[in-house]
Structure 1
Amino acid sequence: MAIEGTRGRVAVVGSLNMDLVARAPRLPRPGETLAGHAFAQVAGGKGGNQAVAAARLGAQVAMVGCVGADANGAQLRASLKAEGIDCEAVETSETASTGVALIIVDDGSQNAIVIVAGSNGEVTPASVARHEAALAAADVVVCQLETPPGTVKAALSAARRLGKTVILNPAPATGPLPADWLPLVDYLIPNELEAATLTGLPVNTPEDAANAAAALRRAGARNVLVTLGAQGVHVSLESGQSAHYAAPKVKAVDTTAAGDTFIGGLAAQLAGGVSVDDAIRFAQRAAALSVTREGAQPSIPYRAEVTR
Structure 2
Amino acid sequence: MIVIFGSINMDLVARVQRIARPGETVLSRRADSFFGGKGANQAVAAARSSRGGPIQVAMAGAIGNDPFGMACLKNLEDNGVDVSAIRVVDEPTGCAFITVDKSGENAITVASGANMALRSADLPDRLLSNASVLVLQMEVPIADTLEVATRARRAGIKVVWNFAPVPLVKERSAMAELLTATDVLVVNEHEALSIAGVLGESAGADFLEAGSAVSRSFGLTCIVTAGARGAYAVAPDGARTHAMARPITPVDTTGAGDTFVGVLAGGLAEGLEIGPAMERACAAASLSCLTAGAQAGMPQRDALEHYLAQA
Does the alignment reach a TM-score above 0.5? yes
1:65 aligns with 2:64: no
Query: Counterparts of 1:244 and 1:161 in 2: how far apart (Å)?
Result: 30
1:24 aligns with 2:21: no
- Post-superposition Cα deviations, 1:102-127, rounded to whole Å, max 9, x if no partner, equal 11111111111001110000111332
1:158 aligns with 2:130: no
- Deviation at 1:202? 6.6
Partner-residue secondary structure (3-state), 1:219: helix
Deviates more, 1:274-283 or 1:72-81: 274-283
Query: Counterparts of 2:222 and 2:253 in 1: how far apart (Å)?
Result: 22
Query: Counterparts of 1:42 and 1:202 in 2: how far apart (Å)?
Result: 38
The aligned residue for residue 135 of structure 2 is: 142
- When normalised by structure 2's length, the TM-score is 0.91
Q: Percent identity?
A: 38
The aligned residue for residue 104 of structure 1 is: 99
1:182–1:221 Cα contact (<8 Å) kept:
no
* Residue identity opposite 1:19 in structure 2: D
Query: Counterparts of 1:241 and 1:292 in 2: how far apart (Å)?
Result: 32
Q: Give the 5 Å matches for 1:1-308.
A: 9-58=1-50, 59-93=55-89, 95-128=90-123, 131-173=124-166, 174-175=168-169, 178-200=175-197, 208-238=206-236, 240-308=238-306
2:242–2:275 Cα contact (<8 Å) kept:
no
Query: Counterparts of 2:279 and 2:236 in 1: how far apart (Å)?
Result: 18
Deviates more, 1:241-250 or 1:172-181: 172-181
Query: Counterparts of 2:93 and 2:204 in 1: how far apart (Å)?
Result: 34
- Deviation at 1:243? 2.9
Q: Which runs of 5+ in 1 are unaligned?
A: 1-8
Query: Counterparts of 1:247 and 1:240 in 2: how far apart (Å)?
Result: 22
Query: Counterparts of 1:217 and 1:121 in 2: how far apart (Å)?
Result: 29
Partner-residue secondary structure (3-state), 1:212: helix
1:192–1:227 Cα contact (<8 Å) kept:
yes
* Residue identity opposite 1:17 in structure 2: N
Query: Counterparts of 2:20 and 2:207 in 1: how far apart (Å)?
Result: 29
Query: Counterparts of 1:193 and 1:213 in 2: how far apart (Å)?
Result: 11
2:160–2:183 Cα contact (<8 Å) kept:
yes
* Residue identity opposite 2:126 in structure 1: A
- When normalised by structure 1's length, the TM-score is 0.91
User: In the comparison of the two structures, how many residue pairs are matched?
Assistant: 294
1:182–1:219 Cα contact (<8 Å) kept:
no
Query: Counterparts of 1:231 and 1:179 in 2: how far apart (Å)?
Result: 28
2:86–2:122 Cα contact (<8 Å) kept:
no
1:293–1:299 Cα contact (<8 Å) kept:
yes
Distance 1:149-1:221 versus aligned 2 partners, 3 A rule: farther
Query: Counterparts of 2:215 and 2:131 in 1: how far apart (Å)?
Result: 25
